[in-house]
Structure 1
């Protein structure tokens, strides 16, 4: 049988013991938060900040109205026009979701050679974006639409389809196709005006080359606003925008520098706009622009357009940089608003004044010299 020796502390030893205990307790309270902060910082270096995604627990896309964009009131013509965004607002959904997905599916499945772009340079970024959006973002942001199943699949409750919760076993073309079939930000305002439409998200991958220039290397692009993406693969941002009057002089170098300075996790937005006077078709390889010195043929209806077929086309672009690959992702969705609607809402004069204030070269690029003689006086008329 063991005996425990009895030992009593003197009053002086008791005092020193109490002082030591107090110091240790204080140090513990200081060190614990520091360790937690250090651990959190280490985790944030490895994982995306999913806690920055605010879940929409009561979200119903069928009741969600589209955002009204009026860049002609607030944004200059040849400017970056950048505004900071938060990660939660990266992808938007609204009430035209199902109808626009149905419009996009045939393009993805039947015209993949035009709509899906992969390659050795861009494939790591494609895989990274799939993880960011399909695995992390959608289930976290829209839990009423995207539900994980058994840790292997995500079910799209709106369409009834599923997609893998991993990139294992998927080709990079399949990853892009899954993104194209699920990520959408469309509008359906048929109750207001039957022809109002918008596109779902198109993604363009700008990857840095050895010289630090960002070049288009991949895409899922079903609704281009002026060119077929395969023809532009390998081009830099400046080369893609070379036809835009004033771009090189005002923005060329600043855009390159801005891309280089962007940090992973930054989200910025900008808008571009033009008039489309020959219908609401979102798939436009010729665009709404004039290219002097080329064999471009301008149709007669550009000079005498039908006002019923004339639209304001707005591109809302979101840019972010991926942490592993360093690729800058352009997320683009295009909104088509009938000019009749713009005028009915009292904005006809504001739009006309914005068009008239364009520098001459930019106005010609946007074909004002053709449709302007008819459209501008009509927009200036009182409602």
Structure 2
């Protein structure tokens, strides 16, 4: 296995997408200007693209779900499968309402964060001198977001102004006293409120480069700790990321300089495993911790394999100017996506015919022969049911990066519900299964 692969691909692919997004926006804008300066009126179909960093309001709309309703609440159904599989503009403007999303796995994730902190400590949550203001602003920003977005899930018990707030988490029943002097580090309070992992990036005033100043990352998915990355600059962290040197190394610092608080973005990447572990997925496990890994994989029913989607955001905090990268892993079983047109076909195409470096990075070769017959069966099922035909073009879905039903199956108290007749929302909850899967010493 490749140590640290999930982190490098996760952040690297995000930055590649952001870079391409910015350059695409810039080229469209320049083209529009040239057309206008050339004496020609812009065509009716030509639309000037918003310049990156242009002011826009980040308005939060309260979501009035109760702790009881959260138990059945599903977040947006991500399906980030692309074909052809190559680096394209795959990031989107972030609706600030979805910066820190809620779902039925909330309690499981918070409990797992606590377990990992108690067992592994600074291997997964750490900070460097000089990151204090950024971490404090992050804690305040997360607190205010949760209070405003989820007023029935987080209660403000006392506001002492500049001295901080006391908040009750109605989901965990824990009171968080975030008044000064703080009893714990801000990153620990953040980890008690949000499911997401957080990376705090700052600019080194002496070198002018950006570095990872602090991080709360209980769920990297791969076999490494942030203790080997903390304090290092972006180039040092991403040296081995595919396409980094060719497309990013000269441009990322410039892009970070231009990034403003009013332009948060989001995207998602993915890989496949046969477990629901948050700290170290089986597909990235090291032989010394699980010597029977391949045997275990082959004995697992292919329908139990799942896609781990890494839902990522990037935003800048206004006061400290820190750049905050978040990641929220969520699992979707192959079985629950079986009635979604083209999804099985896209997955098979990518794991067998995607770029060689991507196939190697995501360890597709380890398991793809094992699940191929199952995927073939799902493809035949879709043909038999008329969900697709032999002539249906195999390409990225028009609803990318979400499931085809995302706009039609939302309920205020239940979230999104898969419309498949075989889908059971209650049975699809993998919390108890995940708790039993923690075996190896590094999990």
Q: TM-score, normalised by structure 2?
A: 0.63
Match of 1:84 among 89, 93, 98: 93
* 1:8 match: none
Higher Cα radius of gyration = 1
Offset at 1:248? 2.8
1:337 to 332, 335, 343: 332
Q: Give the Å deviation of 1:286.
A: 8.4
2:233 corresponds to 1:236? yes
Aligned to 1:204: 199
> Comparing both chains, which one has the higher relative contact order based on Cα–Cα distances under 8 Å and sequence gaps of 6 or more?
2
Structure 1's unaligned 5+ residue stretches are: 1-48, 184-199, 291-296
Q: 2:62 aligns with which of 19, 31, 55?
A: 55
Answer whether contact 2:57 2:262 (CA < 8 A) is retained: no
| 8 A contact 2:83–2:346 mirrored in 1 | no
- Structure 2 equivalent of residue 131 of structure 1: 140
CA 1:267–1:207 in structure 2 vs 1: closer, same or farther (change >3 Å)? Answer: same
What's the offset of the Cα at 1:106? 1.7
CA gap of 1:254–1:355, structure 2 versus 1, over 3 A, is: farther
C-alpha contact (below 8 Å) 1:78/1:246 kept by paired residues: no
One of 299, 306, 314 as aligned partner of 1:319: 314
Does the CA-based 8 Å contact 2:128-2:230 persist in structure 1? no
Q: Residue in 1 aligned with 2:154?
A: 146
- 1:317-372 deviations in whole A, cap 9, x for unaligned? 01111112222111111112222333354521121123334211221222233322
For residues 209 and 283 of structure 2, what CA distance do their matches in structure 1 show? 26
> Are the equivalent residues in 2 in contact too, given 1:212–1:260 (CA < 8 A)?
no
- Given that 2:157 and 2:168 are in contact with CA atoms closer than 8 Å, whether structure 1 keeps it comes out as yes
Deviates more, 1:102-111 or 1:279-288: 279-288
Provide the secondary structure at the position in 1 that maps to 2:309: strand
C-alpha change, 1:274 and 1:254, in structure 2 (3 Å) is farther
Match 1:354 to one of 334, 350, 355:
350
Matches of 1:122 and 1:352, distance apart in 2? 44
Partners in 1 of 2:354 and 2:254 — Cα distance?
26
> In structure 2, do the counterparts of structure 1 residues 159 and 304 end up closer, same or farther at CA, with 3 Å as the change threshold?
closer
CA separation of 1:241/1:78 partners in 2, compared to 1, >3 Å: closer, same or farther?
farther
- Contact conserved, 1:245 with 1:361, CA < 8 A, in 2? yes
Partner residue in 1 for 2:375: 379
> Residue 254 of structure 2 aligns with which residue?
257
1:223 aligns with 2:234: no
Please tell me the root mean square deviation across aligned C-alpha atoms, in Å. 3.0
Aligned length: 310
Structure 1 residues 162 and 235, CA, compared in 2 at 3 Å: closer, same or farther? same
Report the equivalent of 1:70.
79
Task: Give CA-to-partner distance per residue, 1:136-173, whole Å, 9 cap, x none.
Answer: 2111111111111232411112222111354x1115x5
Tell me the equivalent position of 1:169.
181
Give me the TM-score of the superposition, normalised by structure 1: 0.72
CA contact (8 A) 1:289 1:367 kept: no
Query: CA separation of 1:75/1:101 partners in 2, compared to 1, >3 Å: closer, same or farther?
Result: farther
C-alpha distance in structure 1 between counterparts of 2:337 and 2:112, whole Å:
25
Q: Per-residue deviation at 1:308? A: 5.0
The 3 A distance-change label for structure 1 pair 98 and 302 is closer
Q: Check conservation: 1:65, 1:94, Cα contact below 8 A.
A: yes
User: How far apart in 2 are the matches of 1:355 and 1:237?
Assistant: 29
Structure 1 residues 165 and 104 mapped into 2: Cα distance closer, same or farther (>3 Å)? Answer: closer
Task: Name the CA shift for 1:358/1:74 in 2 (closer, same or farther; >3 Å).
Answer: closer
How far 1:233 moved relative to its partner?
1.1
Counterpart of 1:271 (choices 268, 273, 278) is 268
Q: Render the CA deviation track for 1:180-233: whole Å, top value 9, x for unaligned.
A: 1121xxxxxxxxxxxxxxxx2111111112333221121111111223111111
Cα distance in structure 1, aligned partners of 2:272 and 2:346? 14
Moved more, 98-107 or 281-290: 281-290
Q: How has the CA–CA distance of structure 1 residues 264 and 51 changed in structure 2, closer, same or farther, with 3 Å as cutoff?
A: closer
Q: What displacement does 1:266 show?
A: 2.1
8 Å Cα contact 2:214/2:231 also seen in 1: no
Gaps of 5+ in 2: 1-55, 160-164, 382-443
Equivalent residue for 2:294, pick from 272, 275, 300: 300
Query: Is contact 1:272-1:315 (8 Å) kept?
Result: yes
